[in-house]
Amino acid sequence: MKAFFSPALRVASHSLRLHLRDRFFGLFLLFALLLIYSSLLVGVMAVYQERRALMDFGLALMELMGLAFCVYASATAVSSEVETKTIYLVFSRPVPRHSYLLGKMLAVFGAAAVLLAATAVMHSSLLLLRGHAPDGLYFAALGYSWLKLTLISSLVFAVSMFSTSALSSMVIGFILWMLGHFAPETVFMAAQAGGEGSPLEFLARLIPNFQLFNFKDALDVPGAAAPPALALAYAAAWWAGSYGFAWALLRRKEF
Amino acid sequence: MSGNEAAVFDKVGKTYLLPRLGRPQPLEAVKGVSFGIRRGEILGLLGLNGAGKTTLMKLMAGLLAPTSGTVRVLGSDPRNPETRRRTGFLPELPYFYPRYRPAEALAYYASLSGMDRAAAAPAVASVMAKVGLAPHADKRISEFSKGMMQRLGLAQALVHSPDLVMLDEPASGLDPIAIHDMRVLISGLREEGRTVVLSSHSISELEKVADRVVMLSRGGVVSCVESSAWRGAEGGLETLFMEAVR
């Protein structure tokens, strides 16, 4: 176990530092700050619903910023090391490929947490400025957003192992993100079009259901998001599946 | 494999499958290669571009698996973690994260080689002094010249004190002074008892530093000569190489 986790943690801590030092990370934060504070205008327009407008707009922006960063970071995590040949310096050492992959994924998960935390500080400061203190539900919504971001990150990792470029991995990632927000509807339409139990329906069921993580909807519609244990288990199943798929491809690659 | 050999290639072949629409196209990079590398020697791999030098290096570093034959490094499979702990590899034109300082990069690679922090810190300081990077310790890697990058590349290959060091085109793109310094460093490794394998297409470089040279052409070994052979020959290693590859 030590031979598996020790190199993974070393790769993870190194890669996390690289993500946090990346100029794109700083740009995402700056952009998030501008957008979050511009939501003041939305709050003003909402008049009596200012708290709700600021909350919804801010949480959505934070998630979108996180999505952009996670898709970019996951799509380039391995491919950039292959292009620059730094992967030779890693794989010529006693670092198993499964540990390397795990370390890279954990680093993106960690960077997503840091990004969400930093944008949450910005957003909370705006809420406090307007006299709306964030409550426990707000932080629960952040937790669900993080799960969602880690899920899409692990999927993009898997896609990046077979796609021809980082750009195509990113495009597929964004498509999966959009489809995932309409997963039940897609399954329904696939069943209608191809019949129940058809290959089309089976394919539609392979799309992750991001609606389970829409906790900010649950603030208005109780039961809209999955309970925490189910959401965590669902995300963990996708992490494991994506990791296994990505590893199966990475172990066969020659550099 | 005798106890005196650091690495052995036995009828090794490597075929790459180039992605093509429809069916992948095979490319035979190395075929039927057999030779041994003695412990403590500096062995040069000499060949034209595409002769198979880098493929042999990658096979020794465990980055590639042979399509046929066997490669043994320090008595076992090169992909064995224990073997990798005892080998160092410098790829051609190495890249390092530009925002790091050299000690940070070296500490990371030392940790990947299994060294803990207590052991890595003095090893990093020592190897930086050895390759001449100590005066540049405060610079970011983005400020490094090509020669300094190559020194850092050599440092990452040496930081964990490997028994076998593989250097792929270590003098590539360096100016004459940096080439001289690199040569002194490589000769110093032999004095420390390490085995060094270096590939090059520069005949004069190998002539000055190698104990033995394996000449490659079109993926196969065409000749293997000791330093005594080119030191006594008119025209030196160049003449021997031309005779071998023509």
Domains of chain B: 40-66+75-245 (3.40.50.300)
pLDDT single digits (tens) A177-194: 999 999 999 999 988 988
- Output the furthest CA–CA distance in chain B (Å, rounded): 54
pLDDT single digits (tens) B169-202: 998 878 888 888 889 999 999 999 999 999 988 8
pLDDT of residue B201: 80
pLDDT of residue B103: 96
A195 is a domain residue: no
pLDDT of residue B137: 92
Q: Which residues of A touch B156 (CB under 8 A)?
A: 89
CB contact under 8 A, A92 and B64: no
CB contact under 8 A, A10 and B111: yes
User: A23 at the B interface (CB within 8 A)?
Assistant: no
CB contact under 8 A, A94 and B113: yes
**How many Cα atoms sit within 13 Å of A206 on the Cβ side?**
9
User: A3 at the B interface (CB within 8 A)?
Assistant: yes
Distance CA A186, CA A208 (A): 11
Distance CA A18, CA A83 (A): 16
Banded pLDDT at A67 (limits 50, 70, 90): very high
A187 is a domain residue: no
Let me know if A131 is exposed, middle or buried by CB neighbors in 10 A (0-12, 13-18, 19+): exposed
Distance CA A172, CA A167 (A): 9
A175 is a domain residue: yes
Rounded to a whole number, what is the distance in Å from the CA of A39 to chain B's nearest CA? 34
DSSP state of B76: B
User: pTM of the predicted model, to two decimals?
Assistant: 0.91
CB contact under 8 A, A254 and B111: no
CB contact under 8 A, B89 and A90: no
Rounded to a whole number, what is the distance in Å from the CA of A34 to chain B's nearest CA? 26
Under 8 Å between Cβ of B215 and B245: yes
pLDDT of residue B129: 94
A205 is a domain residue: no
pLDDT single digits (tens) A147-164: 999 999 999 999 999 998
Which of A3, A7, A85 shows the shortest C-beta gap to B91? A85
A82 → chain B, closest CA residue: B95
A194 is a domain residue: no
Partner B, chain A 52-91, Cβ-Cβ below 8 Å: 84-86, 88-91
Q: Which residues of A touch B63 (CB under 8 A)?
A: 88, 91-92, 254-255
Provide the domain count of chain A. Answer: 1
Banded pLDDT at A39 (limits 50, 70, 90): confident
Chain A interface mutation, best of B17, B80, B112, highest count of A Cβ atoms under 10 Å: B112
CB contact under 8 A, A88 and B85: no
Q: Which residues of A touch B61 (CB under 8 A)?
A: 88, 92
User: What are the structure tokens assigned to A150, written together?
Assistant: 């880690």
pLDDT single digits (tens) B117-129: 999 999 999 999 9
Rounded to a whole number, what is the distance in Å from the CA of B112 to chain A's nearest CA? 6
Q: Which residues of B touch A3 (CB under 8 A)?
A: 81
ipTM field: 0.91
A203 is a domain residue: no
CB contact under 8 A, B62 and A91: yes
Residue B244 pLDDT > 90, yes or no? no
pLDDT of residue B181: 87
Residue-averaged pLDDT of chain B = 92
Rounded to a whole number, what is the distance in Å from the CA of B84 to chain A's nearest CA? 5
Residue B1 pLDDT > 70, yes or no? no
Distance CA A22, CA B3 (A): 48
pLDDT single digits (tens) B72-98: 999 999 999 999 999 999 998 889 999
Banded pLDDT at A225 (limits 50, 70, 90): confident
Under 8 Å between Cβ of A149 and A70: yes
CB contact under 8 A, B97 and A94: no
A110 is a domain residue: yes
A192 is a domain residue: no
Rounded to a whole number, what is the distance in Å from the CA of A144 to chain B's nearest CA? 33
Quickly tell me which residue has 């292959």 as its tokens: A82
Rounded to a whole number, what is the distance in Å from the CA of A104 to chain B's nearest CA? 14
Which of A7, A10, A88 shows the shortest C-beta gap to B91? A88
* Segments forming the whole domain that contains residue A173: 2-180+214-250
Quickly tell me which residue has 């412990």 as its tokens: B39
Q: Which residues of A touch B172 (CB under 8 A)?
A: none
Rounded to a whole number, what is the distance in Å from the CA of A6 to chain B's nearest CA? 9
| A-to-B residue pairs, Cβ atoms closer than 8 angstroms | 61
Rounded to a whole number, what is the distance in Å from the CA of A62 to chain B's nearest CA? 27
Q: Which residues of B touch A250 (CB under 8 A)?
A: none
Q: What is the mean pLDDT of residues A103-113?
A: 98
Q: Which residues of A touch B85 (CB under 8 A)?
A: 93-94
**Strand B68-73 to strand B220-226: parallel, antiparallel, or no bridges (unpaired)?**
unpaired
A92-117 burial, b if ≥16 CB within 10 A, otherwise e? bbbbbbbbbbbbbbbbbbbbbbebbe
